[in-house]
Amino acid sequence: MTSAPPAYNLFDEAWIPVRWVPHGETNDEAESTARPSAVGLRELLLRAHEIEQIEIANPPALSALYRVLYTITARVTGLDEAGPGDWSGRRLDLVAVGSFGEEQVATYVAPVHGRFGLFDPVRPFLQDPRLSEQCDPANTAGVDKLVTTRPSGNNHSWFVHVNSTAPELPTPAQAVLHLLVWHYYGPSGRCSSRTVGDIKDAGSKAGPLRSTLSYHPEGETLFESLLAGLPEPGRDIRREADLCPWEWEVLPDPVAAPPSLKGPCSALTARSQHALLLVPDATGAFVEDAFITWAYREKISREGDPYLIWQTSKEGNSYPRPADSHRALWRDLDALLLKDPAGSARPRRPEVFRTALDVSDELRVRALGFEQDGQAKDTQFVDAVTPPVLGLAEDREPTVAVEIGRLRVLGERYGSRLDRAAKKAWAAFTEAPKIRDCTWAVDAAARYWPAAEAEFWKRLGARDFDGAAVGFRILAEQAYDTVTHGALGTMRGSKACTKARIELYGGPVKAPARTGGTGGRTTSTEDT
């Protein structure tokens, strides 16, 4: 007789780590019990007004979970449809109430409760139970492949080294976070072979958020953050058509066209290109194996995600701003506050920020992402947060928002000039055949960008925008002089560094030739 699979329902089990809104020091044991370190989805919703934020240390997992929580919040509050009445007004009414109601939560949870069972034999949460038959059970992915911070196969070690012959089994709470990362940030390329009818394939497409940076409004409580992060649905959106994967009546055919996205809820949860199935151990305390393969043979468009900055390539194609662990969040701030920020890529601010300020003027921006390529290479997580700045958006503080954009342009201008100067000096000093990446450029960037970020926030805090060009220029000069100082003791080094230094001021330019003269003369250009 086959034993029943262990139960682990995400509404009931405590798997989401949280930080509670502080309310004074206490050593009371009852108070500690009432404010646990982790909660399930049901308690998360009911006590969202008491929770300051979710404390997941894995940024792509938090980005993915936010999207799931936004859809659940929309369902619970009825804000998944534009009507009845004014959508913004209904959301403001909820802000005034200050919490999600028990009846609201219970009404949504009751019919979908079983679909949030992580090991449910019929419809496990965001998994495909058919994989146990459609994939080779002797050639599973294994838990090292499931846990996205571990190396697997011939891939390089990233966060930790592992012993593939004796893998450390993740708990269900850990496994579900990596399940989410796979659905949103999974790689393209070869995966486990899956056979569906006459079709046998072992190639998957990249996840919808792979290599991107996602921007989320955050308030003083999780309740505010979830309401501020809701995308406004169009007038023609109907909840019975705009379905999340756990709301589908039947699982989709993998070789057919993917289910169409009929609104914000399906767009946030039904773009996955991967199919997974977790295998628990006999006790249900750990996940001992996993199937990971392709979900659809067709690529699902990721166009329109409301938490991404969308840019335009030289060819006219729209693409999301990629995650870059070397790029500080302040350099994206004007693209979040301005309707038409400067830049050849013509960035467009995330759509969610168009309405987020209706919830609160004191919203921060949380940037979550994963610097990675399209296939196997993972470089670094990206996680950054601003002070409460969304109240400075162009439609609220147009003058300040424009000045923020100007500060960003000036900061990047001198960063670019410093990079060029350092590379040019190094090439001349070492007699390299061409200008390219070098130690000086890396060292100069490590000195300049943190100082430039501090300069940016200092000027924004003081509303001091005059003379900003001089401020950034001085920082570039200091970084350049520091990294090139050791070469000044030689004739070749002194000549190379002195000549390249003009790049800090815009580089050499030819002045117009004077009539009757002997020709143009070389000068430098500088900001006014």
**Domain 402-524 bears CATH identifier 1.10.10.10:** no
The distance from CA 83 to its chain's CA centroid, rounded to whole angstroms, is 30
| 8 Å CB contact between 117 and 124 | yes
What is the average pLDDT across 143-158? 74
Going by pLDDT thresholds of 50, 70 and 90, the confidence category of residue 521 is very low
Domain boundaries, the chain: 16-294, 402-524
pLDDT tens by residue, 228-278? 999 999 999 999 999 999 999 999 999 999 999 999 999 999 999 999 999
pLDDT tens by residue, 66-95? 999 999 999 999 999 999 999 999 999 999
- The one-character DSSP state at 188 is P
Q: Return the structure tokens found at 278.
A: 């977790």
With a cut of 90, say whether residue 330 has pLDDT above it.
yes
Exposure string (b/e) for 12-46, b if CB count within 10 Å is 16 or more? bbebbebebeeeeeeeeeeeeeebeeebbbbbbbb
pLDDT tens by residue, 41-75? 999 999 999 999 999 999 999 999 999 999 999 99
The torsion region of residue 216 among left (phi > 0), alpha (psi -120 to 50) and beta comes to beta
| 8 Å CB contact between 215 and 62 | no
pLDDT tens by residue, 283-308? 999 999 999 999 999 999 999 999 99
Determine phi and psi for 378, rounding to 5 degrees.
Answer: -115, 130
Exposure string (b/e) for 372-394, b if CB count within 10 Å is 16 or more? beeeeebeebbbbebeebbebbb
pLDDT tens by residue, 359-390? 999 999 999 999 998 777 888 999 999 999 99
Residue 509: the pLDDT is 75
In the chain, the percentage of residues whose pLDDT exceeds 70 is 91
- The one-character DSSP state at 522 is E
With a cut of 80, say whether residue 117 has pLDDT above it.
yes
| 8 Å CB contact between 201 and 150 | no
